[in-house]
């Protein structure tokens, strides 16, 4: 990266390209090791490069800089969310949104709303999450991005499933699969590249996991193979995503009263959680612990609950 001792008098396309490359590097750390592994680096990178807006630049470079800054602030918000700093996350997303809107980059606007919605969804504020996802859909349609629409539809399905609305959850999930299929072959920006067929399979499993909890335990029959496929499909650098899917898979086996299998998968989830610096993964383990506690008469469930109780996230 450029010398951070002073703001350059003028920047060019190469300078912005280096910022974009640094953001991609930090995004890779977030996926692999969790937000705590790179949050401070991302925040410093965003704050320093904000100062470049004072530098002279051509119109195209200045536009590209705004998009790059929106992207790094979006990542800063995500890493703050992943480490439990919700107010900081909101502040970075507000900055990211202002930059993306100013640059006229609707695909990035859609992604920022998706991430803000995920914070609310994680906190159980599902109706607020749906409002964020709907705002994102407006931007995604303006961008003409079926990929962005699919991301938002799948997350709408997750929110509806959490509220026990099976009808809307199934509709939105079907639409997500249709829109994802329509997006085949189109370029995907770095901030949205995580969402592929494997991640859609994971979200399908998560939606049906929620429906098994809120509507009908029979949804485990769909959730289990979808989550299993996702766990097998995630590459080695998507450790956190695999950990989250393992947590959900263990929950489904508990619902099915397959306690030995639940304990084995839950043990893998705890081991994966120990490899990432993410409060989100630790938070997701707690409902699994409560579910295991309901079956304390079984030694496998009892052992799983005890292992989760003893787990301390590395942050």
Distance from C-alpha of 117 to C-alpha of 107, rounded to nearest angstrom? 15
- How many residues does this entry show for the chain? 315
What gap in Å lies between CA 308 and CA 48, rounded to an integer? 40
In 3D space, the residue among 66, 77, 73 whose CA is nearest the CA of residue 16 turns out to be 66
Residues 45 and 151 in one domain: no
Task: Provide the pLDDT for residue 281.
Answer: 94
φ and ψ at residue 2, rounded to 5 degrees: -65, 160
- Tell me whether residue 187 is in a domain: no
47 in a structural domain? yes
Domain assignment of residue 137, yes or no: yes
pLDDT value of residue 312 = 81
Residue 99 domain-assigned (yes or no): yes
The reply to whether 309 falls in a domain is yes
C-alpha dihedral, 108 to 27 to 207 to 115, nearest 10°: -40
Whether 2 maps to a domain, the answer reads no
Same domain, 224 and 306: yes
Separation CA 258–CA 300 (nearest Å): 9
**Shared-domain flag, residues 242 and 305:** yes
Could you tell me the residue range of the domain that residue 31 belongs to?
12-104
Pair (314, 202) in one structural domain:
yes
Residues 44 and 126 both lie in one domain: no
* Tens of pLDDT, residue by residue, the chain (315 residues): 445 668 899 999 999 999 999 999 999 999 999 999 999 999 999 999 999 999 999 999 999 999 999 999 999 999 999 999 999 999 999 999 999 999 999 999 999 999 999 999 999 999 999 999 999 999 999 999 999 999 999 999 999 999 999 999 999 999 999 999 999 999 999 999 999 999 999 999 999 999 999 999 999 999 999 999 999 999 999 999 999 999 999 999 999 999 999 999 999 999 999 999 999 999 999 999 999 999 999 999 999 999 999 998 776
- pLDDT digits over 3-46, tens only? 566 889 999 999 999 999 999 999 999 999 999 999 999 999 99
Q: How many structural domains compose the chain?
A: 3
d(CA 67, CA 96) in angstroms, rounded, equals 9
**One domain, residues 150 and 136:** yes
Spatial separation of the C-alpha atoms in residues 1 and 20, rounded to whole Å: 10
On whether both 259 and 241 belong to a single domain, the answer is yes
Residue among 87, 111, 82 nearest 99 (CA): 111
Beta carbons within 10 angstroms of residue 21's beta carbon: 13
My answer on whether 72 and 111 are in the same domain is no
CA distance 165 to 169: 6
Same domain, 135 and 236: no
Of 49, 75, 104, which residue is a domain's last?
104
**Residue 290, token pair as written in the block:** 């409560």
Q: Is residue 275 part of a domain?
A: yes
pTM: 0.95
Whole-number pLDDT of residue 6: 83
Rounded Cα gap, residues 315 and 298, in angstroms: 32
Q: Do 216 and 312 lie in a common domain?
A: yes
Domain boundary among 139, 172, 205: 172
Quick check: is 264 in a domain?
yes
């Amino acid at each position: 990266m450029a010398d951070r001792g002073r703001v350059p008098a003028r920047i060019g396309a190469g300078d912005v390209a280096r910022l974009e490359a640094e953001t991609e590097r930090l995004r890779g750390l977030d996926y692999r090791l969790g937000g705590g592994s790179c949050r401070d680096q991302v925040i410093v990178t965003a704050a320093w490069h904000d100062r470049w807006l004072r530098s002279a630049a051509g119109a195209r470079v200045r536009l590209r800089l705004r998009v790059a800054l929106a992207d790094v602030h979006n990542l800063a918000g995500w890493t703050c969310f992943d480490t439990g700093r919700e107010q900081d996350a909101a502040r970075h997303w507000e900055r990211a949104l202002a930059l993306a809107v100013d640059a006229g980059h609707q695909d990035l606007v859609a992604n920022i709303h998706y991430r803000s919605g995920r914070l609310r969804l994680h906190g159980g504020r599902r109706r607020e999450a749906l409002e964020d996802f709907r705002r994102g859909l407006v931007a995604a349609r303006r961008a003409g991005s079926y990929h962005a629409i699919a991301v938002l539809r799948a997350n709408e399905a997750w929110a509806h499933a959490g509220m026990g609305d099976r009808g809307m959850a199934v509709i939105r999930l079907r639409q997500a699969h249709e829109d994802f299929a329509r997006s085949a072959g189109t370029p995907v920006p770095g901030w949205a590249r995580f969402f592929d067929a494997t991640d859609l399979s994971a979200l399908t499993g998560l939606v049906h996991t929620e429906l098994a909890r809120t509507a009908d335990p029979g949804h485990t029959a769909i959730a289990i193979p979808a989550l299993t496929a996702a766990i097998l499909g995630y590459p080695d650098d998507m450790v956190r995503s695999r950990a989250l899917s393992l947590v959900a898979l263990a929950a489904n086996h508990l619902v099915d009263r397959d306690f030995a299998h639940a304990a084995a998968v839950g043990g893998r989830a705890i081991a994966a959680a120990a490899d990432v610096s993410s409060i989100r993964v630790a938070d997701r383990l707690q409902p699994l612990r409560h579910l295991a506690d309901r079956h304390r008469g079984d030694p496998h469930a009892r052992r799983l609950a005890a292992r989760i109780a003893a787990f301390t996230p590395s942050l």
